[in-house]
Amino acid sequence: MFFPEYRARRLRRTEALRRMVRETVLRTDDLIYPMFSAFGQGIKKEIPSMPGIYQQSIEHIVAEAREVYDLGIPAVILFGIPEAKDAVGSDAYSDHGIIQKTIRAIKQAVPQLVVITDVCLCEYTDHGHCGIIKDGDVDNDATLELLAAEALSHAQAGADIVAPSDMMDGRVAAIRARLDANGFAHIPVMSYAVKYASAYYGPFRDAAESTPQFGDRRSYQMDPANRSEAFREAALDVQECADFLMVKPALAYLDILRDLKERFDLPLVAYNVSGEYSMIKAAAANGWVDHDRVMMETLTGMKRAGADLIITYHAKDAARLLGR
């Protein structure tokens, strides 16, 4: 095909033609909306670094869950801000924990909405790390027991999917075994399989109040420079019977999304994280970019790279545009 006989612009001439040959289509069904549930009543506190996103008490979470469902978004993922934190994150696996109560409330009010729960201890520990501390670092194997207990408590409360984000070795197998042994073999595990130690998480740590009180998470989250390690992490989770694989963050790791899509046949999730969200919001607020166009281009890029599903704080805004 050579110019002038071949002209690529022929298929770009009108909006109808562009739609007909569009290769990547972003759908509302592809979106998952994160929510932050806070202990107490009457709480709706906007997160300063994440405009439009709130810490909310359960009655407001339920109202927003109805809004999300009415927009056609199929699922939410829940994060909790407990009444109190301790060294072992007790609220994470309590039958009366903030997330367990939130799950029950949402499933009673909006039963058709898929409820995914983040399984980790960082939001519930007074030190802000993702597991039990021993000799100044997270004890991997001791943490597995608590993660499995947390996942089981979420399933018992009515969660549809559990999503371990801690990056402990062996946590998918531990959770799968605990769920299966207690009558929850039908509950899928959405593994944060490839989670990098990223600076893009800053605003989330404000939202979840989970900033480490000492050190950082680089002994258990992945080095942003590594690519081959992502294949090993994902392969381990596949062997341990994960049902979904996730890459987090998404925007700076589109190559990893494509790599995993080409190597594994499980549904692939991209987490469009807080820093990625906040950069667009800040640039748009300053008039530097067109918010809606940059948002949709960013999400479409993640889908084009291989994501089947996208966890994004933009979900409601995107769903409104997609519904027009």
Which among 19, 71, 74 is positioned nearest to 269, based on CA atoms?
74
We find that the CATH architecture of domain 25-322 is Alpha-Beta Barrel (3.20)
**Per annotation, catalytic residue among 85, 101, 248, 303:** 248
Q: Is the peptide bond before 249 cis (omega within 30 degrees of 0)?
A: yes
Report pLDDT for 215: 60
d(CA 63, CA 249): 28
d(CA 25, CA 80): 32
d(CA 94, CA 124): 11
Question: 164 and 175 in contact (C-beta within 8 Å)?
Answer: yes
> Over 80: is that where the pLDDT of 116 sits?
yes
Residue range 175-224, pLDDT digits in tens = 999 999 999 999 999 999 999 999 999 887 776 666 777 667 777 889 99
Stretch 124-132: mean pLDDT: 86
Task: Work out whether strand 44-47 and strand 50-56 pair parallel, antiparallel, or are unpaired.
Answer: antiparallel
Residue range 142-156, pLDDT digits in tens = 999 999 999 999 999
Report pLDDT for 250: 97
Report pLDDT for 269: 98
Report pLDDT for 211: 74
**Per annotation, catalytic residue among 45, 107, 134, 195:** 195
Report pLDDT for 130: 84
Mean pLDDT of the chain: 94
Q: Annotate 129-189 with DSSP letters as a single string.
A: -SS-EETTEE-HHHHHHHHHHHHHHHHHHT-SEEEE-S--TTHHHHHHHHHHHTT-TTS-B
- 107 as an active site residue: the answer is no
Report pLDDT for 126: 85
* Confidence grade of residue 131 (pLDDT, cut at 50, 70, 90): confident
Residue range 287-306, pLDDT digits in tens = 999 999 999 999 999 999 99
**Stretch (H or E) spanning 58:** helix 58-70
- 281 as an active site residue: the answer is no
Question: Structure pTM?
Answer: 0.96
Q: Map out the domains of the chain as residue ranges.
A: 25-322
